[in-house]
Amino acid sequence: MLVATTAFEALASEVATTLGLPDMRIVAVAHPLGGADETTVIDRADSAVEQTLRLLTGSA
């Protein structure tokens, strides 16, 4: 499982494929995280919970 921001999702997928991991599960959160206040980061993490559960278990 890899967590990336939306700006780097395609790059993360490309690198994973290049490294022989074409099925890498990637959770994308809104960009940017750098410079975001704590509340924004927590909100973005909360919004990724369902996607994370779905990728880890096949359902949410």
Orientation angle between helical segments 38-47 and 49-57, nearest 10 degrees = 40
Q: Return the pLDDT at 59.
A: 75
Q: What is the pTM of this model?
A: 0.83
Summarised one tens digit per residue, pLDDT across range 30-59 is: 999 999 999 999 999 999 999 999 999 987
Question: What does the block give as tokens for 28?
Answer: 């994308």
Asked whether the predicted pLDDT for residue 21 surpasses 70, the reply is yes
Asked whether the predicted pLDDT for residue 60 surpasses 70, the reply is no
